[in-house]
Amino acid sequence: MMGGYGDVQLLRDDGLRLDGRKLDEMREVQIEAGILPAADGSAWVKHGLNVAVCAVYGPMEAHPRKIQKQDRAVIDLRYNMAPFSTSDRIRPGFNRRSREISKVTAEALESVVLVERYPRSKIRVEIEILSAEAGTRCVGITAASVALADAGIPMRDMIVGVASGKVEDTVVLDLDKAEDNYGQADLPMGILPTTGEIAFLQMDGDLSIEEFNLCMDYNMKAAKEIHEIQMDALKRRYESKNGGA
Amino acid sequence: MNPRTEVLELSAPVSNLLKQELARLAESDKRIDGRGRFESRDIILETDCLYNAEGSAKVTWGDTVVYAGVKFEVREPWPDRPTQGSLMCGAELRPVAGLKYEAGPPSPESIELGRVVDRGIRESGCIDMDSLCIIPGEKVLGVMIDIHVLSDRGNIFDASALAAIAALKTSIVPAERFDVGEDYPLQVQKTPTMCTFTRVGGRYVLDANEQEENGGEERIHITLAEEGHLHSLQKGLKGTFTPTEFAEILEVAQNRCAELVNLVKSKEA
């Protein structure tokens, strides 16, 4: 729905966005680690009205053998939207969109996880979107990072999913559903918050170089904020594992 | 215990030991987690917990976690039932739920789960299908309940049935979105709930956990509504039972389902 510009007003007369946020303000983020007892590591992330749950299993032997890599672990990742996660019900099962998101998300995580430590093995990452309201791939990345850490899998850094974009010729951080549907551009990124490296990048729409640079600044700033929430969730999980000590 | 250690313990060569231990415990009428024979694990029921679903519920049943979400659609009625809407309940057992689950087309297990829960709700008559009619012969409402198992540590059937009926009973029909009047709460007349009994160490226990399922035998699912009538039965896995055994667990199910009905009703507006 890119290019719907002009049809729908997305910025209010006072310069704020329809939901009252400032241009560089993200939606509220809440994170819990270790919420699925069957998994080796897990996380729950609520980002605005998005809800994502991630389970991590492994590292374990990679089956079938042809998927094994002799020098590292493979990340076997599925991004899936629950049938009731959107306004119109989604038929269960994989589609082209979820396959593509699964592929690039797995590759982003492979860039962060110390996969060389586990040759010939696999790490299963299951991202389930329970409620979708724009930006679910980013929420999935944020959740996967916490779940991997909760599973005790070594990583170079955490990874945070965050997006910026353009509405009414104005760059804004963290598009909501209306802004995503009727805006002019969307730039989701997976950022390593400590080093500032980028492990995940997609974009669609229309951005000038200046606008792109501003999106990048917004994303970097938000990644640091979300990183603190991630670490806080992991610390709370660690406390509760020790009986609240 | 670390879940992975537990899974290793259950691999084929070791499972006989688990069976022996369960049989030994059964001799003194004990269970592996210390519960009584007909004692359930603790249940936390949350409703209206997801934004885009028209009704939703999360059930945390011991260490088992299940979500259910309700969606509506406007569709043409079946030619032979021009004034009736429809109800469908499906379940997904995706790899997120546990190490033993793999990606792929719906497994026989997930189809059985969805259909057993579906029958309990459908056959209780809790929804008047005629009330889902918008224009006879042209437009009716379809109600779809999707069950999403996120963590399987035993007895996903009872957890799924509870999540499904709780989500259904807190559903709001999005009539405005379909341009057919104002939003209204879905009318659900009854509260079917399920009790599952699994043969562990030779006798039936209520609400088997993951270890009991792995070292146990056949299971029986009983769905009752508040009027005390049976609405769905299913025997699963290899094994047989006697009428005397069934009479005993049915009596337990009657009491237990009444408690579950109260739990669901406590969440209704």
pLDDT of residue A244: 45
Q: Contact, A168 vs A178, CB < 8 A?
A: no
Q: Is A40 within 8 Å of B4 when comparing Cβ atoms?
A: yes
B39-265 is a CATH 3.30.230.70 domain: yes
* Cα–Cα distance measured from residue A59 to residue A118, given in angstroms and rounded to the nearest whole number: 7
Which pLDDT band, with edges at 50, 70 and 90, does A168 fall under?
A: very high
Amino acid, res. A127: I
Q: What is the pLDDT of residues A183-225, one digit of tens each?
A: 999 999 999 999 999 999 999 999 999 999 999 999 999 999 9
- Point out which residues pair with B108 in neighbouring strands: none
Q: Note whether residue A98 is domain-resident.
A: yes
Backbone dihedral angles phi then psi of residue A240, each to the nearest 5 degrees:
-70, -30
pLDDT of residue A239: 86
Query: Would you call A56 an interface residue with chain B, using a CB distance cutoff of 8 Å?
Result: no
Number of domains in chain A: 1
pLDDT of residue B10: 52
Average per-residue pLDDT for chain B:
93
pLDDT average, residue stretch B15-39: 94
Range of the domain at A97: 29-241
Which pLDDT band, with edges at 50, 70 and 90, does B11 fall under?
A: low
Q: What is the pLDDT of residues B56-79, one digit of tens each?
A: 999 999 999 999 999 999 999 999
CATH (domain of A92): 3.30.230.70
Q: Note whether residue A17 is domain-resident.
A: no
Q: How far lies B159's CA from each of A56, B15, B28, B42, in Å?
A: 22, 25, 28, 11
Query: Would you call A103 an interface residue with chain B, using a CB distance cutoff of 8 Å?
Result: no
Q: Which residues of A touch B146 (CB under 8 A)?
A: 82-84, 89, 92
Q: Note whether residue A4 is domain-resident.
A: no
Q: Rounded to a whole number, what is the distance in Å from the CA of A180 to chain B's nearest CA?
A: 16
Q: Is A53 within 8 Å of B150 when comparing Cβ atoms?
A: yes
Taking the CB of residue A25, how many other CB atoms lie within 10 A of it?
16
Domain residue limits, chain B = 39-265
Radius of gyration of chain B (CA): 20
Q: Note whether residue A170 is domain-resident.
A: yes
Task: Specify the residue for token string 């562990």.
Answer: B200
Q: Note whether residue A51 is domain-resident.
A: yes
Which pLDDT band, with edges at 50, 70 and 90, does A36 fall under?
A: very high
Percent of residues, chain B, with pLDDT higher than 70 = 94
pLDDT of residue A238: 86
pLDDT of A178 over the 90 cut? yes
Query: Would you call A80 an interface residue with chain B, using a CB distance cutoff of 8 Å?
Result: yes
Q: Note whether residue A153 is domain-resident.
A: yes
Which pTM does this prediction carry? 0.89
Query: Would you call A203 an interface residue with chain B, using a CB distance cutoff of 8 Å?
Result: no
pLDDT average, residue stretch A72-101: 94
Q: What is the pLDDT of residues B126-167, one digit of tens each?
A: 999 999 999 999 999 999 999 999 999 999 999 999 999 999
pLDDT of residue A243: 52
Average per-residue pLDDT for chain A:
93
